[in-house]
Structure 1
Amino acid sequence: MSENELHRIGVIKEVCNKQLTQMTAASNLGLTRRHIQRLVNQFRQDGDVGLVSKRRGLPSNRRFLSDFREKVLTLVKQKYADFKPTFACEKLAELHGIKLSSETLRQWLITEGLWRVRKRKQKKVYQPRYRRECYGDLVQIDGSHHDWFEGRSAKCCLLVFIDDATSQLMSLRFCESESSYDYMNITREYIDNYGKPTAFYSDKHSVFKVNSPSRKSSKQMTQYGRILYELNIELICANSSQAKGRVERANRTLQDRLIKEMRLAGINTIEEANAWLPEFMADFNRRFACSAYSSQDAHRPVQESAIELDDMFTRQTSRKVSNSLTLQYDKIIYLLDPTEKAKRLVNKAVMIYDYPDGTIALRYCGEELTYSVFDKLRSVQQGDIVNNKRLGAALAFAKENQAERENTYDRTRNARKGSRKAQVRAMNPRVADEVKFKSSLTRE
């Protein structure tokens, strides 16, 4: 028996023993006096069992028909086999006009063996942290590497910016790898749309923090950290994934919902996805975003001009000018035009601005320097370290280089089929002339 039924038995017994009037019992149980008389008659006839509901154990009168149940399960098997019950229930209502509760659908799927209840492992306890009070006070950022297009395109990374106070998705952007330039682009887009937040909350990825043991003691910043410092935005690096759990949980939700939404929308490339993401963000925030404790907006207006922002969102470094008016950056030698101003810069440091679009600017004390590309260094050291999060892009680049080397090897092997002079001439004409000259001396 339930607690309500046990309480009802006690009251009816008092009525039968004339310790309580029927009007008082009706007032206590929230029933009419006539219904109290019926319960008294049932109790006197059958005892405690007479007060138990006769409908217990029988199917509900409000249950769905079996034909409707089969129709829903057929749709789920055909189109939403890998959807979770809540998400499948939403799609049934949006696309097919079928309205039912997610718990009903979950029980149906469990009965049919289409959904399995998993036993959760005992997790480590982490003390909760209150949300920030103001919108824009703290923005959690992270990159999620996943097969977002389910094999229709190569694996890529989704950069996620989420507000801590409201759980609102602020910016989403697909990119090939989690690099500094990608974070520069999405951050520039963020401050153009919302302004400057108080702080960004990230992990200890090398884009945000210098992780080299030899540099940890120094105050050196990464390129992205320098940009935020110039914009007066605080960068906080979390010590664990649980500390920035809001963006981690958002990544988990996106890896489930976003993939299937793109499948339904027929999106197959990064370009198509980035153009469609604002529509998804609006629908996502309508469903899951909440209100902040305070109505204050902590975003600050951007004081810098567009030109100043263009210079900030670059990879900046310095190089010394050699006696031949050259400097080396990113395996490329740049030759300064031999002007009087350039000649005075020998052995002085020149700032290099490497823009995300690939253009390079050389400046000294804010003045632009004209230059030309002298030569490219073709050798790549085997000891170059590639970050784990960019390993996929690095391997793809390596495969392209290997294919190019294979083609070069095939052309060289075909050239070796000729005579020795033809071989030497094909490989290096200058060496061929030297061989010809030495052979003439031998004959003389």
Structure 2
Amino acid sequence: MREVITMTLKAQKRAKILEMVKNKKIKQKDAAIILGICRRQLIRIFKEYLSKGDEALNHKLIGKPGNHRISSDIKEKIMQIVRNNYKGFKPTFIAEKLYEEHHIKIGASTLRLWMMETGLWKKIRKTAKHRTRRPRKEHFGEMIQMDGSIHDWFGTGKEVCLMNMVDDATGTSYGLFDTGETTQVALQCLFDWIMKYGIPYSIYCDYKSLFYTKREATIEEQLAGKLPLTKFGEVCHRLGIEMIYAHSPQAKGLERWNGIHQDRLIAEMKLKNIKDIDSANRFLKEYYWEKNNRKFSKKPLSDEDFHIALMPDQDLRNYVCYTAECKVYRDYTIKFSKRIYQIEKKQPIAIKPGDNVILKTWLDGSIHIFKKNIELNFFEIDDYGRRVSA
């Protein structure tokens, strides 16, 4: 089994932007805005990039705990001070007071997240206001709008979902049908998009449960300083894709595209007597999207493509998948989702009972088990220890 090399996709993204600065295709101030860093930090990183190349972008603490990670004990002490002294005040103000009165320096954004986790702060909903049309992005791949449209697409009286992706700069579209707004169809759309165009810089979606979760962070997530994510959000995080949430359906602008598809796509499928999801998806892949993009896509304002290409040693199936952490039992088995997997004796890496491994379920349903990014040899068994035929 070959090793799966985990790359820092954040570094790849930075390299692409810095290369554009180097070639004078974008200005340093614009690059800083795109990367979400200050101008001074951009200049420092750019100088290192010019002298060391891609090596300068690989963080020296990759795979190690962050030096600045705040322990759960310290976090609890800070939150106790907030509860006792500053309940009802805004996070920015509290952060200032923590520094002035208690000599505790903490970012307002970090404090805001902690306060939201403990119910001490809620997002303030602003009153409705006049909306102006948002200017489209300048670069292909800079932002992909994504949403599901529930409709009686086949004219059978039964509603299904068209999961639709639209590039904000060009209007280039792609999508697939499913029974509903499922994680599976969203991941399959993202997988197909990346295989064709590359990894997009960001995805613009709404606060639906597919993309956003309101659940509280688990103890493990809290200790690791991680925010709770949906399965789709986990995949985007692995790929380095920024998720941007729209506060209204109108903000995304996908309603116009859904209207176009409800007119044109329904008519096209009716002419071909397409009445089921499998036939419709074949039609979309083989005919509809190519025709639709030729007709409706526009030339971007900038010729620079913001998609990140996959490296030759990157297997996209190991990124766009479902993952779970499992423990190896004394009999060298792994149990997951009411199924049992037997770890074979011969392995490319040492394995012993008690080890934690990562079980990945690819979009095709196949199971793959890894330790330290190295795939293990295994087979499935039943409750009696008999090998299950594939």
Shorter-chain TM-score category? 0.5 to 0.7
AA partner of residue 130 (structure 1): P
Shift of 1:373: 2.6
1:159 aligns with 2:163: yes
Q: 1:168 matched to which residue of 2?
A: 172
| Structure-to-structure mapping, 1:295-334, within 5 angstroms | 295-305=303-313, 308-334=315-341
Shift of 1:160: 0.7
Q: 2:235 matched to which residue of 1?
A: 227
Question: Does the 8 Å contact 2:217/2:227 carry over to 1?
Answer: no
Paired residue total: 250
Distance 1:146 1:192 in 2: 28
Q: Highest relative contact order (Cα 8 Å, sep 6+), 1 or 2?
A: 2
Question: Does the 8 Å contact 1:335/1:374 carry over to 2?
Answer: no
Question: Does the 8 Å contact 2:348/2:376 carry over to 1?
Answer: no
Structure 1 residues 362 and 286: CA distance shift in structure 2, 3 A = closer
1:199 aligns with 2:202: yes
Note the alpha carbon deviations across 1:65-107, whole angstroms, 9 max, x for none.
xxxxxxxxxxxxxxxxxxxxxxxxxxxxxxxxxxxxxxxxxxx
Shift of 1:161: 0.8
1:142 aligns with 2:137: no
Note the alpha carbon deviations across 1:238-263, whole angstroms, 9 max, x for none.
2322221x223211332233212211
Note the alpha carbon deviations across 1:191-247, whole angstroms, 9 max, x for none.
121122221111223333332135597424333333323333222222322221x22
- Indicate which of 178, 181, 185 corresponds to 2:184: 181
1:190 aligns with 2:193: yes
AA partner of residue 297 (structure 2): A
Q: Secondary structure at the match of 2:382?
A: strand
- Indicate which of 325, 347, 351 corresponds to 2:354: 347
Name whichever structure is richer in helix by fraction.
Answer: 1
Distance 1:260 1:179 in 2: 25
Question: Mind listing any 5+ residue stretches in structure 2 that lack a counterpart?
Answer: 1-127, 385-390
AA partner of residue 316 (structure 2): L
Shift of 1:137: 1.4
Q: 1:268 matched to which residue of 2?
A: 275
Distance 2:330 2:350 in 1: 8
TM-score (norm 1): 0.50
Q: Secondary structure at the match of 1:235?
A: strand
Shift of 1:339: 7.0
Q: Secondary structure at the match of 1:141?
A: strand
Shift of 1:368: 0.7
Question: Does the 8 Å contact 1:139/1:161 carry over to 2?
Answer: yes
Question: Does the 8 Å contact 2:343/2:376 carry over to 1?
Answer: no
Q: 2:70 matched to which residue of 1?
A: none
Q: Secondary structure at the match of 1:281?
A: helix
Shift of 1:129: 1.4
Distance 2:308 2:359 in 1: 29
**Structure with the greater alpha carbon radius of gyration:** 1
Shift of 1:318: 0.7
1:253 aligns with 2:292: no
| Structure-to-structure mapping, 1:78-117, within 5 angstroms | none
Shift of 1:344: 5.4
Distance 2:241 2:217 in 1: 26
TM-score (norm 2): 0.57
Question: Mind listing any 5+ residue stretches in structure 1 that lack a counterpart?
Answer: 1-122, 377-444
Q: 2:133 matched to which residue of 1?
A: 128
Question: Does the 8 Å contact 2:203/2:243 carry over to 1?
Answer: yes
